Amino acid sequence: MDNSQIYSDNLERIQKTMRFEKTDRVPVLPTANAWTTRPLGIKLADYCANGPTTIDVHLKCWQKVQPTVDALQCVLYNTDFLKPMWLSQVRVPGVDLPDDELWQVEEAELVTVDDYHKILSTGYYKWLDGFLKEKLGDPFKDLQPTIAAGPEATQKCIEAGIVPLVPCIITIPFEMLCGGRSMINLMMDMYRRGDLLEKVLNAAFEEVLVANRNLLRATKPVGCWVGGWRGASSLMSPDMWKRFVWPHFKATVEMAVEEGVIPVLHLDSDWTNSLEYFRELPRYQCIMSPDGATDIHKARQVMKDHMAILGDVSAALLAFGPPQEVSDYVKGLIKEFDGRGYMVSSGCDIPFNAQVENVEAMLRAAYEV
């Protein structure tokens, strides 16, 4: 079988799983960037210094680690992507850190209340352009080679028979401002100056939604991450979450579906107490991807046959194993879902210290049930 047929079969397997149809096996859709250097013996500093070539590292890793995968949730990677996404500085191995120490986001109060007023008076992206250049060293300029390599990287993935499921990430202003404002300050703003914050988030979202739609139209990806990190419903009161997070998150997901893109709902932290709201999203069109904090068993009960679920093998399990425990956990989930509406992956990224034999046990379990 040639790779073009393998690619078609892999994509069809994912799409059938989203519709809760029975397939020959459950799909395997790992997400990893830093960890892909480990099986290949590549220094993390070298990986971070060569964003346009990270696709080659990813493909070599998943060709070496067996059995094979259906799709990748990370096509290209560059730590500079974190700067506009978190509005924060990033410490990088080989520059600010030892060669094989994982990069670190430096959360600090870079966004002030004065910036809120600037956003309202000048517009979000006009403010953002100045903020990034002044505070974060103009990351989009540094990202240009990696961004330009995107189409070729996607094609390499397809030619290898692997679905490039997540070549891009989109999120909502709450997540970005939470990083730049710092979590503590933004949470306090929700109480102390909620009306101002709501105006800022709404104004920014009008621009961000258009920009995200244009990104999806320009790149035409199979899917995209719709990221939720600090917007988890467990981190704030239900009223605050419904006011500041859910309307924009929901509208972003619906926009991606309108554009024919699969929204992979990358849900870090605990969203268990808001699972019912996800039934408002289009049926069979999204993939929920919890990171281990959200109760995946409760998610299955609530979602029923509304939305497929991806994950959520924990970082601790992949790092410390043993392989049989990893295999038993994955097989248990496959059986619990009756092989429908479930896809195998780690919860969030495969951790940098994951053992190769544990990752292979996770992949192999999909083929053995």
Q: Give pLDDT tens digits for 3-27.
A: 999 999 999 999 999 999 999 999 9
The pairing of beta strand 262-267 with beta strand 223-228? parallel
Average pLDDT, the chain: 96
Reported as a pLDDT band with limits 50, 70 and 90, residue 1 is confident
Preceding peptide of 322 cis, ω within 30°? yes
Tens-place pLDDT, residues 213-226: 999 999 999 999 99
Domain segments of the chain: what residues?
3-368
User: pLDDT, tens digit, for every residue of 300-322?
Assistant: 999 999 999 999 999 999 999 99
Contact 171, 227 (CB under 8 A): yes
As a three-state string, the secondary structure of 12-36 is HHHHHHHCCCCCCCCCECCCCCHHH
State how far the Cα of 367 lies from the Cα of 324, in Å rounded to an integer. 15
User: pLDDT category, 178, cuts 50, 70, 90?
Assistant: very high
* % residues pLDDT > 70 (the chain): 100
In one letter, which amino acid is 246?
W
Mind listing the pLDDT tens digit for each residue in 33-73?
999 999 999 999 999 999 999 999 999 999 999 999 999 99
Question: pTM, whole model, 2 decimals?
Answer: 0.97
- Which of left, alpha, beta for 144 (phi over 0: left; psi -120 to 50: alpha)? alpha
The whole-number pLDDT of residue 294 equals 97
pLDDT of residue 158: 97
Beta strand ranges found along 56-211 (DSSP E): 71-72, 89-91, 104-106, 163-164, 169-170
- The 10s digit of each residue's pLDDT in 270-304 is 999 999 999 999 999 999 999 999 999 999 999 99
Q: Once rounded to an integer, what is the mean pLDDT over residues 90-100? A: 97
* Burial status of residue 335 (CB atoms within 10 A of its CB: 0-12, 13-18, 19 or more): exposed
* Chain centroid, CA 156 distance in Å: 21
350-368 mean pLDDT: 97
For residue 203, the model assigns a pLDDT of 98
User: What's the whole-number mean pLDDT along residues 244-255?
Assistant: 98
- Top CATH class of 3-368 equals alpha beta
For the segment 118-152, what is each residue's pLDDT rounded down to a tens digit?
999 999 999 999 999 999 999 999 999 999 999 99
